Amino acid sequence: MFSYTFQWNQALARLPQMLEGAVVTMEVAILSMVLGIIFAITLTGFRLSGNKFLNGIAVTWVEIARNTPALFQIYMAHFGVASFGIHFSPFTSLLIGITFNNAGYLAENFRGALKAIPDTQTRAARSLGMPAIMAFNNVILPQMLRISFLPMSNQMVWAVLMTSLGVTVGMNYDLYGVTQDLNALTFRTFELFAIAAVIFYIIVKIINFGARLIAARLFRY
Amino acid sequence: MKKSVLLGGLFAATCFAVTANTASADMLDDIIASGTLRCAVVLDFPPMGMRDANNNPEGFDVDYCNDLAKALGVKAEIVETPFPERIPALMGGRVDVGVASTSDTLERAKTVGFSIPYYAFENAVVGNDKAGMKTWEDMKGKTVGATAGTYEAIWMEGKIKEWGTGEFRPYQTQADVFLALSQGQIEATVSTVEVAEANVKSGKFPGIAIVDKAPMVPDYVGLFTMRQEYGLINYLNLFVNQQVRTGRYAELYKKWVGEGKPADLSISGVYR
């Protein structure tokens, strides 16, 4: 039994607010992706370094990021650290949580990509007189990023969808937060969440399309 | 020929009777026929809805639902429903009636049907001791929070917009609000006097205190169901009236909230 009369005009009147929320969602996702890639490359470096301590940090990070719910990570970035007296705004907490998650997954993607690059390339580069760092940066890294580009776009999609978890730490101006606020105000649950779903869908489609365009441009052999 | 006409007529009449019967059965009939009244109750909202030591639902709203079921002569089933999920639960047919401390705003009444108010909350401002607040107006410019989707959340967000300074953060549960307040993530919250007192007294959230009454119109809450179910809404209205008339309202207030007089549910100067 589902007897509900859809009143789209009531919900569509709120569309501008929701689109503003979508912009914030995109901001969080993009920032968390950029930071996530930087951290993931660092973690990959840690793993390759052969230093036990650095390797330990990287392994711990990846293990926690991949084996606990993103919700837990975001919640910890807000309420967890606050019990030590460190206060982050909801936006920052959400960003930290998703970045942490992204970095963990991406580091794992990068590891897989590195495995696909034959060792002989490093040796060839070194034998040409390149220092280790240079060999990594100029020979291995570009190939690693190329191989893991599509998994990266996947993670970007995931980051967009994870922003919806921000409501648990009091985030109320991203797409999901705005939708929930409006829901409380008007009780037009189904229209509002349907619109939010469509917006999420469109964002993801745009990301996928963009990733394909970029891939076609960058990776022509 | 005659016989077949007669048979056909009889058949048609039977069909008509059957369809007429099902068409006239409204939600009130359905509840009575099913023998169970399913209530949406928020169990994260003491003392209105919570769980006892054995994890069984209890509280003012739980008892209210049980009373309603008893009046209807059916069994009560408490369906735990967080604040934001009250409407999906109703529309999806998981519950028949909401006994969930739901503020009867005009905006919401466009979607669901409310009974007359069955309870009214007064609200208090609770502050973190470090914020050094004296009156409710000290909330101006502060970071404040409340449970998402509640009357007080809507009020606070409106105040922040009106003042043009400060920040509002909605949290998913009442417990998160008080945790954030105790940690100093937010400096003040507005909650019902009942909830505020219970939480300050519980000792689970150190460093917080009730600052002042919030200058809001009392938060009248109604039972709710499908907007078009006049029969049921009518019954709910009479039920609320009877609860007050028989003194059960005052009894439940004493049991769950404490000494003193429960809020007046009538508004002078206007019919409802």
A109-162 pLDDT, tens digit each = 999 999 999 989 999 999 999 998 899 889 999 999 889 998 999 999 999 999
A218, pLDDT greater than 90: no
pLDDT at B127: 94
What 3-state DSSP class applies to B118?
strand
The mean pLDDT of A182-198, rounded to a whole number, is 91
Residue A92 forms contact with B (CB below 8 Å): no
For residue A71, what pLDDT band results from cuts at 50, 70 and 90? very high
Q: HSE, CB side, 13 Å, CA atoms: give it for residue A204.
A: 15
Kindly tell me the sign of the dihedral angle through the C-alpha atoms of A173, A175, A176, A178: positive
Kindly tell me the sign of the dihedral angle through the C-alpha atoms of A46, A48, A53, A55: positive
Highest mean pLDDT among A41-50, A60-69, B102-111, B163-172: A60-69
Exposure of A169 by Cβ count < 10 A (0-12 exposed, 13-18 middle, 19+ buried)? Answer: buried
pLDDT at B270: 86
| Substitution target from B171, B181, B232 for chain A, most A beta carbons within 10 A | B171
Under 8 Å between Cβ of A204 and A175: no
pLDDT at B4: 65
Chain A CB contacts of B150 below 8 Å: 184
Classify the phi-psi angles of A145: left when phi > 0, otherwise alpha if psi is within -120 to 50, otherwise beta: alpha
CA B73 distance to own-chain centroid? 22
Taking an 8 Å cut-off on Cβ atoms, the answer to whether B107 and A187 are in contact is yes
| CA distance to partner chain B, nearest, from residue A123 (Å) | 53
Q: Per-residue b/e over B103-122, b at no fewer than 16 CB within 10 Å?
A: bbbeebeebbbbbbbbbbbe
A4-36 pLDDT, tens digit each = 788 899 899 999 999 999 999 999 999 999 999
Per-position DSSP letters for A80-100, written without gaps between them: IHHTTT----HHHHHHHHHHH
How far does chain A reach from its first CA to its final CA, in angstroms? Answer: 57
Angle at B110 between CA B40 and CA B91, to 5 degrees: 35
Taking an 8 Å cut-off on Cβ atoms, the answer to whether A3 and B228 are in contact is yes
What 3-state DSSP class applies to B126?
strand
Taking an 8 Å cut-off on Cβ atoms, the answer to whether A184 and B149 are in contact is yes
Q: How far apart are CA B228 and CA B86, in angstroms?
A: 17
B8, pLDDT greater than 80: no
- Taking CA–CA distances from B86, the nearest residue in chain A reads A187
Classify the phi-psi angles of A50: left when phi > 0, otherwise alpha if psi is within -120 to 50, otherwise beta: left
Q: HSE, CB side, 13 Å, CA atoms: give it for residue B1.
A: 0
Chain B CB contacts of A87 below 8 Å: 183-185
**Per-window interface: A 3-22 vs B, CB < 8 A:** 3-4, 7, 10
pLDDT at A118: 93
Taking an 8 Å cut-off on Cβ atoms, the answer to whether B169 and A183 are in contact is no
User: What is the token pair recorded at B186?
Assistant: 């937010």
- Taking CA–CA distances from A182, the nearest residue in chain B reads B149
pLDDT at B125: 94
For residue B268, what pLDDT band results from cuts at 50, 70 and 90? confident
Q: pTM to 2 decimals?
A: 0.81
Report CA-CA distances (Å) from B132 to A204, B155, B210.
46, 22, 11
Highest mean pLDDT among A95-104, B47-56, B102-111: A95-104
For residue A185, what pLDDT band results from cuts at 50, 70 and 90? confident
Kindly tell me the sign of the dihedral angle through the C-alpha atoms of A142, A143, A148, A153: positive
Q: How far apart are CA B137 and CA B188, in angstroms?
A: 11
B11, pLDDT greater than 80: no
Q: Domain ranges in chain A?
A: 8-218
Under 8 Å between Cβ of A43 and A100: no
Percentage of the residues of chain A whose pLDDT score is greater than 70: 98
Residue A2 forms contact with B (CB below 8 Å): yes
The mean pLDDT of B12-21, rounded to a whole number, is 50
pLDDT at A113: 93
CATH superfamily to which A8-218 belongs: MetI-like (1.10.3720.10)
Chain B CB contacts of A4 below 8 Å: 91
pLDDT at A2: 61
- Nearest to B42, CA basis, from B93, B112, B89: B89
Give the nearest partner residue to A170 out of B92, B170, B226, using CB atoms: B170
Find all residues with CB under 8 Å of A174, minimum gap 6, and list them.
Answer: A21, A24, A25, A28, A94, A163, A164, A166
Taking an 8 Å cut-off on Cβ atoms, the answer to whether A78 and B154 are in contact is no
The mean pLDDT of B206-220, rounded to a whole number, is 89
- Nearest to B207, CA basis, from B175, B182, B180, B177: B182
User: What is the token pair recorded at B222?
Assistant: 């109604």
The mean pLDDT of B25-45, rounded to a whole number, is 92
Dihedral of the CA atoms A16, A18, A23, A25 (nearest 10)? 180
B231, pLDDT greater than 60: yes
Taking an 8 Å cut-off on Cβ atoms, the answer to whether A188 and B111 are in contact is yes
pLDDT at B20: 47
Chain B CB contacts of A77 below 8 Å: none
What is the β-pairing status of strands B167-171 and B143-147? Answer: parallel
Kindly tell me the sign of the dihedral angle through the C-alpha atoms of A169, A173, A174, A180: positive
Q: What domains can you pick out in chain B, each with its CATH number? A: 26-121+219-256 (3.40.190.10), 123-213 (3.40.190.10)
Taking an 8 Å cut-off on Cβ atoms, the answer to whether B110 and A167 are in contact is no
pLDDT at A50: 86
What values do phi and psi take at B204, rounded to 5? -75, -20
Chain A CB contacts of B107 below 8 Å: 185-187
The mean pLDDT of B120-136, rounded to a whole number, is 91
Q: How far apart are CA B175 and CA B189, in angstroms?
A: 12
